[in-house]
Structure 1
Amino acid sequence: MTDTTAGTLDTVRLTAWMDDVGLPGAGQPLVVTQLSGGAQNEIYDLRRGEHRSVLRIPPATAPADRDKGILREWRITRALDGTDVPHAGAVAVCDDPAVLGRVFFLMDYVDGWSPMQHQKQWPEPFAGDTAARAGLAFQLAEGIALLSRVDWRERGLHDLGRPEGFHDRQVQRWTGMFERIKGRELDGMDTATAWLRTHRPLDFIPGVMHGDYQWANVIYHHGDPARLAAIVDWEMGTIGDPKLDLAWMLRDWPDDTHDLEAASASYVDLRGMPSRDRLAAHYAEVSGRQVDDMDYYLVLAKWKLAIVLEQGFQRAGDNPKLRAFGAIVPRLMRSAGELAETTDYRG
């Protein structure tokens, strides 16, 4: 009934549930292929006749609150249906852990490619065509610009987050996190933290945030021109300040993408890409939001990510991936402190 890559899924129960909720393909064999698995979620490709979907479920050993995270992802995914935000459409959700041991949901299968499949080498035609490659970056910026325009109240996301006091809570939450896990001093942290407390935006327009927007969390359609097919992995989604998503995307973007050393420092090849300012301007044009205060958001993004990665480093043990954060964090925090000291932005 299934192939041998179904991981820990009980495909008999899954098939019965799919029939109960009226999904297409009743009576046909279910073919399950595990696409990825980790501490956050396991992801499976489901094929039943001509119908194809993707299942997201926490692993059996994940903390109980991961079930809430899955339902949060489902809620955002369903709310985006009918909008112009590229995403995988909502198919069905199961909030009964008795079916597969954890709650889970199904979304549409997206036929495309991820930058993480290629990393330092773009697929053709983007490898050899600089103009075509620039389109990948503009589409990346456009994805969150479109997200920022979603009417979150109309889409039923009014209680997804608390936009009031968003920036105050960012500083409080992440300084508190750092104090709990602190194992070393970080140069630039005191400077960046003090600056963030006194330079937060006077006001902002709340909107839907992805929360971890970067090359790793998007899928592109095949071929030229560059077209964003879907934004994925919504577990950090909330209602907050969407411009932080833009800064998260641009935090390590070099000022000059023709500087081969700087452009090659990213986990993808940024050589010949549009400049950070051009991408911010494109975001502003599509979103209708001003970006004159982008330095504030860049300081916040660098500072916050440094603390997030430091948390991983402090609990790394023998994990080589987490231990690698040990060298990244100080550079990131120093960069946040230096930008805070040199920017002309006054809030």
Structure 2
Amino acid sequence: MTAQHIDVEAIDLSALATWMDGQGLPRGPIEKAEPVLGGTQNVMVRFERAGVPYILRRPPLHVRAKSNEVLRRETRILAALEGTGVPAPRLVAAQTATEPVFYLMEPVDGFNASTGLPERHRDDPAIRYRMGLEATSALASLGRVDPERLPGFGRPEGFLERQVPRWMSELESYGRLDGYPGPDIPHLHETARWLEANRPRSFTPGIMHGDYHLANLMFAHDGPRVAAIVDWEMCTIGDPLLDLGWLVATWPSSQLQIPGLPQAEELIACYTSLSDRDHSNIAWYVVMACFKLGIVLEGTHARAFAGKAPKDIGDLLHQTTLDLFARAKAWQN
């Protein structure tokens, strides 16, 4: 999960303790409070009370327009996944009636592979290989959860039909940024046409993570098992096969130099063996994931022209966009 760097003293721990008392949680002084670092979107603070460890998740101190609603959605998702077998952080308690919204969850006993591998995983190629299959298995378990656990969540009707117009509109919106010359992305319009012409005619709605890749997983210390899928901000009810496409589109991540992972085709075969969904058009989902992610990353490139993002980061992400569209082209058939 992403977290904002923050001085813990800025959090009212006394008020938090009073609220926890009202939730019937173990009483005592809040101890060992420290920020959980790693991003900019939300605040996360680790602490202990009466010997019990917790993670507090709340919006940034300078709240963004949708910060509170995002956390309301996350609490619904984590609550709905309880008891399903999907590896996810366990929700302890949540305050959603007033703002700022926040919730407590149990810390995950695991590690994020984007920050490196522990010795056991680093030294055992069989564990590294299995990590990829376990990532796919965890995703398949999410795809099997009944979406009725989240009534009224998302808009599955017309989900696939909305994708290309939605992201082309997003790309066009970048033109309002000063200095951005427009997208210089080979295969852009060709890919958009291919997606519209080859769009699956139907799908079975399910719960989607929305940003499923290795850096949003925590693995168990004792083996290849996924301890938790994290960062549920983009979750919705849609077509879970797009999550599989997203995993394949980002595989392997250039940020995660992990040797010995399975090939993308092995991920697809693993998912297929664990799911009864129609996988005959999986190439469409991979191309769609490349298309969407490439457009999202191009936004930082556009903001860099307007002085709203570092130029080197914008250039790097633009190259990633080009790589994604090249991958999309290779998957078109």
| Global fold match (TM > 0.5) | yes
CA distance, structure 1, for counterparts of residue 184 and residue 318 of structure 2: 12
CA distance, structure 2, for counterparts of residue 87 and residue 39 of structure 1: 21
Q: Which amino acid aligns with 2:303?
A: R
Q: Which amino acid aligns with 2:84?
A: T
Deviation at 1:27, TM superposition (A): 2.6
Matched, 1:295 2:289: no
Q: Which of the residues 160, 164, 178 maps onto 2:171?
A: 178
Matched, 1:279 2:272: no
CA distance, structure 2, for counterparts of residue 7 and residue 234 of structure 1: 27
| Cα displacement string for residues 288-339 of structure 1 (whole angstroms, at most 9, x for unaligned residues) | 2242211101110101100000112211335243442122212222332343
Q: In structure 1, what is the equivalent of residue 297 of structure 2?
A: 309
Q: 1:141 touches 1:283 (CA, 8 Å); kept in 2?
A: yes
TM-score (norm 2): 0.90
Q: 1:123 to 1:138 in 2, by over 3 A?
A: same
| Runs (5+) with no aligned partner, structure 2 | 1-5, 176-181
Q: 1:209 touches 1:239 (CA, 8 Å); kept in 2?
A: yes
CA distance, structure 2, for counterparts of residue 112 and residue 87 of structure 1: 11
Q: In structure 2, what is the equivalent of residue 39 of structure 1?
A: 40
| Cα displacement string for residues 181-233 of structure 1 (whole angstroms, at most 9, x for unaligned residues) | 14233111001001111111121111000000011111111123x11111111
TM-score (norm 1): 0.86
Q: Which of the residues 326, 329, 333 maps onto 2:321?
A: 329
Q: Percent identity between the aligned chains?
A: 37
Q: In structure 1, what is the equivalent of residue 137 of structure 2?
A: 142
CA distance, structure 2, for counterparts of residue 334 and residue 275 of structure 1: 18
For the residue of structure 1 that corresponds to 2:147, the secondary structure is coil
Q: 1:38 touches 1:59 (CA, 8 Å); kept in 2?
A: no
Q: In structure 1, what is the equivalent of residue 201 of structure 2?
A: 202
Q: Which of the residues 124, 128, 132 maps onto 2:127?
A: 132
Q: 1:77 touches 1:89 (CA, 8 Å); kept in 2?
A: yes
CA distance, structure 1, for counterparts of residue 50 and residue 13 of structure 2: 15
| Cα displacement string for residues 88-116 of structure 1 (whole angstroms, at most 9, x for unaligned residues) | 11111112556xxx211111111111112
Alpha-carbon RMSD: 1.9
Deviation at 1:28, TM superposition (A): 3.2
Matched, 1:83 2:84: yes
Q: 2:249 touches 2:324 (CA, 8 Å); kept in 1?
A: no
For the residue of structure 2 that corresponds to 1:222, the secondary structure is coil
Aligned residues: 318
CA distance, structure 1, for counterparts of residue 218 and residue 135 of structure 2: 10
Q: In structure 2, what is the equivalent of residue 23 of structure 1?
A: 25
Structure with greater proportional helix content: 2
CA distance, structure 1, for counterparts of residue 295 and residue 193 of structure 2: 15
Q: 1:302 touches 1:335 (CA, 8 Å); kept in 2?
A: yes
Matched, 1:113 2:126: no
Q: In structure 2, what is the equivalent of residue 219 of structure 1?
A: 218
CA distance, structure 2, for counterparts of residue 172 and residue 231 of structure 1: 29
Deviation at 1:59, TM superposition (A): 0.4
| Runs (5+) with no aligned partner, structure 1 | 254-262
Q: Which amino acid aligns with 1:110?
A: V
